[in-house]
Structure 1
Amino acid sequence: MIATTARKARPAATEDEAALEFVTDVVAGLEAKPKRIPSKYFYDTAGSLLFEEITQLPEYYPTRVERGILTENAEAIAALLPAGSALVEFGNGSSAKTRIVLRAASELSAYVPVDIAAEFLEEQAETLRHEFPSLNVLPVAADFTRAFDLPASLRTVPRIGFFPGSTIGNFEPPDAAGFLRLAGRSLGAGAVMVIGVDLIKNEAALHAAYNDAADVTARFNLNLLARINRELDGDFDLDSFEHRAFFDHECSRIEMHLVSRAAQRVSIDGHSFDFAEGETIHTENSYKYTVESFRALAREAGWQPIKVWTDSDGWFSLHVLVNETANPSAS
């Protein structure tokens, strides 16, 4: 067992380093053709709260359907998790789905949420400490798409990966495989990973999920520009951009863009960028898989699929994988 001392989220970089990385990525993305900004920058505190609002929308099926799969199969999932192990969640969100697993897997020794939004992460961690007083909650503020350090107290503890929400779909497929390899090195050989994957379905349902009637997804997308204004001395006029999301059949993905309504020039941290009318900033992809295409990706990255559950409509899948990559040096 691990001591149950409360721990603050540990920053992976200083604020200055994070700000430098943010401005570097934004400037490079807006200089590229076509323009793009990494979707990880959606998730400042305001963006995280907007995303939680999205998950409650009637059109946004992934959260509702995945939660149903988790609830229905919670005991079966818990039976696959070794007693005394630590649950490492890549991307924390509201922890609503995590609670389903934590309640079922009562013999876990620790929960380690890893997320880039440190303030939001710590708020969620503190709530969980009160709800699960016997569980050691050890938040780590880090970009989980890159190597990061887990708490030293976990070195001898079996680790379980938890990656719900189909966030894996936000990666280009080669990068998704790269993330799975990185997760394998963090979790260690023989580790179990539980991962949610959105499935290919009718285009009307996909379109509605990313173009909700209340325009919450539009506000979430536009908040990226608001964050640049707040943190990078940008001068984006948010009314001069609009949200656009559509399904690309060839790539089997939803694409999200911000579209310039007019020819304009924008300044950020002393850099200027020209936009033509109709020009877009590509802000996110969300790839949709079949069960077999995701299993093939997992195998390529060194994970052996051992179980999958789907909802009755076949809209969403929850996979259990085992890390087959030898990794004696994992820390």
Structure 2
Amino acid sequence: MNKPLTENTEFITSSLNGLQSDPKTLQSKWFYDPAGSALFEEITQLPEYYPTRTELSILEAEADALAGFLRDGAALVELGSGASVKTRLLLDAAPQLGHYVPLDISAQFLKQSAADLARDYPALEVQPIVADFMRDVVFPPALENASKVAFFPGSTLGNLDQGQAVELLAKVGAWPGIDSFILGLDLVKDTEVLINAYNDSAGVTAAFNLNLLRRLNREAGATFDLVNFAHDARWNESAQRIEMHLVSKRAHDVTIGEATISFQEGESIHTENSHKYTADSIRDIAKTAGWQVTEMLLDPKEFFAVSVLKRAI
């Protein structure tokens, strides 16, 4: 019997709960160990994965306009910062910023990207916080009442169902000193374009998905044989979302500590949702959470939207 190899009991507990449910699930936030974070950065460079380059094109074209929403000395707080590539466009356009506060669940990846930014922007106070942004964020005392602008690019909000998305937007809206929210969301479009973005020909997204099982083997002592699973991306029309699954190729058992998880041939582990939005649904979800959309910036193909939200009066 393998024993857990990590102190991350939340990861193990949530994974066991998900794998023992029907249907089986794993939370997408656990994708982002160092290997997963690196694979995701590779995904963003793939020809099929349009969201990153499309959002970047909007940010490049509109950086000066977006900088107008950032007050002198304000803190730009990025949720799920990753490598902070898009952030640099805002930092370059807004030298008046006083602080950059990246939030990320992957401590090692966050430390490196924050160090890179601190080196490249010596006049900026870079203050990383290791945090799950779905929970209450505790800011350092010096930032508690500072003017804040939230930045949430990459359509990561789309990983949440509507109730969770509203909860997160409302939670950010309750931050002390919050002024604006710059939010990037992927839009509904041709189904083939969507599926190809999550099922690239090079197999990088498949490796990213399968890395969840590799992480469970390493950190929880699980016995997943990755050759028994295949990556699958599918469009759920009624829910307006791409779903990622790991599909069992044959009937077999996997152990995690004392637990035995049985798989049937064709049974899947649902690992991620990526909801797609329309202009109307963006406005609706913002309004429900107490925000109003004051700007909605689109690319020429209307594949992606970068919206500026203000607290509703």
Same fold (TM > 0.5): yes
Give the equivalent residue in structure 2 for 1:143.
132
Q: Partner of 1:128: helix, strand, or coil?
A: helix
* Counterpart AA for 2:41: E
Tell me, yes or no, if structure 1 residue 243 matches structure 2 residue 218: no
Asked whether the 8 Å contact 1:177–1:297 carries over to 2, the reply is yes
Tell me, yes or no, if structure 1 residue 170 matches structure 2 residue 159: yes
1:81 deviation in Å? 1.3
* Counterpart AA for 2:29: K
- CA distance, structure 2, for counterparts of residue 311 and residue 203 of structure 1: 18
- CA distance, structure 1, for counterparts of residue 211 and residue 145 of structure 2: 41
Q: Partner of 1:126: helix, strand, or coil?
A: helix
Give the equivalent residue in structure 1 for 2:219.
231
1:185 deviation in Å? 1.6
Tell me, yes or no, if structure 1 residue 160 matches structure 2 residue 163: no
- 1:222-301 to structure 2, matched below 5 A, reads 222-301=210-289
- 1:80 paired residue among 37, 62, 69: 69
Measured at CA, do residues 308 and 178 of structure 1 come closer, stay the same or move farther in structure 2, by a change above 3 Å?
Answer: same
- CA distance, structure 1, for counterparts of residue 257 and residue 169 of structure 2: 35
Give the equivalent residue in structure 2 for 1:317.
305
- CA distance, structure 2, for counterparts of residue 323 and residue 167 of structure 1: 21
- 2:189 paired residue among 182, 191, 201: 201
Give the equivalent residue in structure 1 for 2:78.
89
Asked whether the 8 Å contact 2:145–2:176 carries over to 1, the reply is no
1:188 deviation in Å? 4.0
- CA distance, structure 1, for counterparts of residue 177 and residue 290 of structure 2: 11
Give the equivalent residue in structure 2 for 1:42.
31
- CA distance, structure 1, for counterparts of residue 260 and residue 205 of structure 2: 27
- 1:50-61 to structure 2, matched below 5 A, reads 50-61=39-50
Q: Partner of 1:267: helix, strand, or coil?
A: strand
* Counterpart AA for 2:229: F
Asked whether the 8 Å contact 2:167–2:289 carries over to 1, the reply is yes
**Structure 1 gap ranges (5+):** 1-14, 326-331
**Greater mean deviation of Cα atoms: 113-122 or 19-28:** 19-28
**TM-score between both structures, scaled by the size of structure 1:** 0.91
Asked whether the 8 Å contact 1:194–1:320 carries over to 2, the reply is yes
Measured at CA, do residues 187 and 241 of structure 1 come closer, stay the same or move farther in structure 2, by a change above 3 Å?
Answer: farther
1:269 deviation in Å? 2.2
Asked whether the 8 Å contact 1:67–1:97 carries over to 2, the reply is yes
Tell me, yes or no, if structure 1 residue 218 matches structure 2 residue 206: yes
1:182 deviation in Å? 1.1
- CA distance, structure 2, for counterparts of residue 137 and residue 285 of structure 1: 31
Asked whether the 8 Å contact 1:160–1:187 carries over to 2, the reply is no
Q: List, as ranges, runs of 4+ consecutive aligned residues in structure 1 with deviation greater than 3 Å.
A: none
1:148 deviation in Å? 2.0
Q: Partner of 1:96: helix, strand, or coil?
A: coil
1:155 deviation in Å? 1.9
Asked whether the 8 Å contact 1:61–1:209 carries over to 2, the reply is yes
**Structure 2 gap ranges (5+):** 1-5
- CA distance, structure 2, for counterparts of residue 183 and residue 238 of structure 1: 38
1:80 deviation in Å? 1.4
Give the equivalent residue in structure 1 for 2:55.
66
Asked whether the 8 Å contact 2:216–2:222 carries over to 1, the reply is yes
Tell me, yes or no, if structure 1 residue 109 matches structure 2 residue 98: yes
- CA distance, structure 2, for counterparts of residue 54 and residue 183 of structure 1: 28
1:140 deviation in Å? 0.2
1:82 deviation in Å? 1.1
- CA distance, structure 2, for counterparts of residue 247 and residue 291 of structure 1: 20
Asked whether the 8 Å contact 1:38–1:284 carries over to 2, the reply is yes
* Counterpart AA for 1:105: A
CA RMSD between the two structures: 1.0
- CA distance, structure 2, for counterparts of residue 212 and residue 142 of structure 1: 30
